[in-house]
Amino acid sequence: MAAPIVETKERAIDVGGGRLKLRFKTAGNGEPIVYLHPAGGLFFDPFLGALSQTRSIYAPEVPGTSAGDNNAIHLVDDLWDLVLLYEEGIRGLGLSTAPVVIGQSFGGMLAAELAAHFPQLFSKVILFDPIGLRREGLPITNWMTTPPEKLPALLFKNPEHPAAKAMFTPPPDPELAVKLLSGLVWALGCTGKFVWPLADKGLRKRLHRITAPTLIVWGKDDALIPSDYAREFGDAIKGSRVEIIPDCGHIPQAEQMQTTLGLVQEFLSQGDSRP
């Protein structure tokens, strides 16, 4: 929960016919990347910092998770509503080229939904340990009912990893700790609205609609959603590429940042080789 390492700017786009604003944090310069945050909310981590050296990052916040606008979540009905609002928001950025999308966990699911609903919206799709599928015999751990003390081991292969420590060590100022922790809990509640109960909301039936080149990255030791799901995504998205990262839990961009960054940079530099 350390302070963000990258200077970000804010941009708010009216969506839903003026019903609410989709709030973006932006950073960097270059070809556009839309980054969709995980269930705990948006945090500009070193991975995004590194990407922003050569790219423009546009990171929308799920309504309700933006500081000072917590009730916005009540203006969004369901996942379908959210997908439409995000499409409007991304379109509203007025980018000159279709951006790449990167989504982590909850954001991965949302990226897949967007790319399936609107196949022309993104030039490339990168999913890190996305949720959104559920198959019997392949259980997902409900992070929302996991006791807080068990979260580090749920999210990291090595809960002693510096990134885990940074994520779970509260700041020394008690008032700041209250603000950050309440924000984190509320963000889990807001994003939970679109996935609770943790079942497949129909994504499996929609994944075949994704036509953009897709990279699926998964931590081999993901304890939240097992890496076996990487193949499920890979099989459903035609021509996609699956990369399993060893010694890595649910958040590859944090636990194996260099490896993940390398895979992403390589994928970004490739032309569309698909037929």
Partner 1 sequence: MKISAFAQFAYRKFGDGFEKKHDSSVDTPWSLVDPAEVRAGYRDYIDGLMLAARSGFDGLVVTEHGQASYDMMANPSLVAAALAYATETENLEVAIYPAGRSLGKSREPVRVAEEYAMVDHVSGGRLVAGFPVGLMYDACINNGVPPIELRSRFDENLELVLRAWRDDKPFEWNGRHSQLECVNIWPRPWQRPRPPVWLTGTGNPATMQIAHEREFGFNYLSWFGTKLTGPRIFNRFWEMADKLGRPRNPYQMGILQVAAVAATDAEAERKYRPHVEYVFNRGPGAIARHKLAIPGGVSVAGLQALMRDPSDMGISDQLRVVSFGKLVDVGSVILGSVDTVTERLTELIKQYRIGNLHLMMQFGSMPRELAMENIALFGKEVLPRLKHLWRDDGFEHHWWPERLGGKPRYETAKQTARAGAA
Residue numbers at the binding site for partner 1 (CB under 8 A):
70, 73-74, 77, 144-148, 178-179, 181-183, 185-190, 192-193, 196-197
Angle at Cα 64 formed by Cα 59 and Cα 68, nearest 5°? 95
> Could you tell me how many residues make up the chain?
275
Rounded to a whole number of angstroms, the minimum distance from the CB of residue 201 to partner 1 is 12
Q: Which is nearer to partner 1, 70 or 259 (CB)?
A: 70
| Distance, CA of 127 to CA of 102 (rounded, Å) | 6
Q: Which is nearer to partner 1, 132 or 234 (CB)?
A: 132
Rounded to a whole number of angstroms, the minimum distance from the CB of residue 77 to partner 1 is 7
Q: Which is nearer to partner 1, 123 or 146 (CB)?
A: 146
**84, 102, 137 from 34: Cα distances, Å:** 16, 6, 33
Q: Which is nearer to partner 1, 115 or 198 (CB)?
A: 198
Q: Which is nearer to partner 1, 110 or 190 (CB)?
A: 190
Rounded to a whole number of angstroms, the minimum distance from the CB of residue 73 to partner 1 is 6
List, in sequence order, the alpha helices (H) in the chain: 46-51, 79-92, 106-117, 151-155, 162-168, 174-192, 203-206, 228-236, 252-255, 257-269
Cβ(24)–Cβ(89) below 8 Å: yes
Cβ(39)–Cβ(143) below 8 Å: yes
| Distance, CA of 250 to CA of 225 (rounded, Å) | 7
**Number of neighbouring beta carbons within 10 Å of residue 28:** 21
Cβ(32)–Cβ(50) below 8 Å: no
Q: Which is nearer to partner 1, 150 or 274 (CB)?
A: 150
Q: Which is nearer to partner 1, 181 or 244 (CB)?
A: 181
Helix 79-92 vs helix 106-117: crossing angle, to nearest 10 = 80
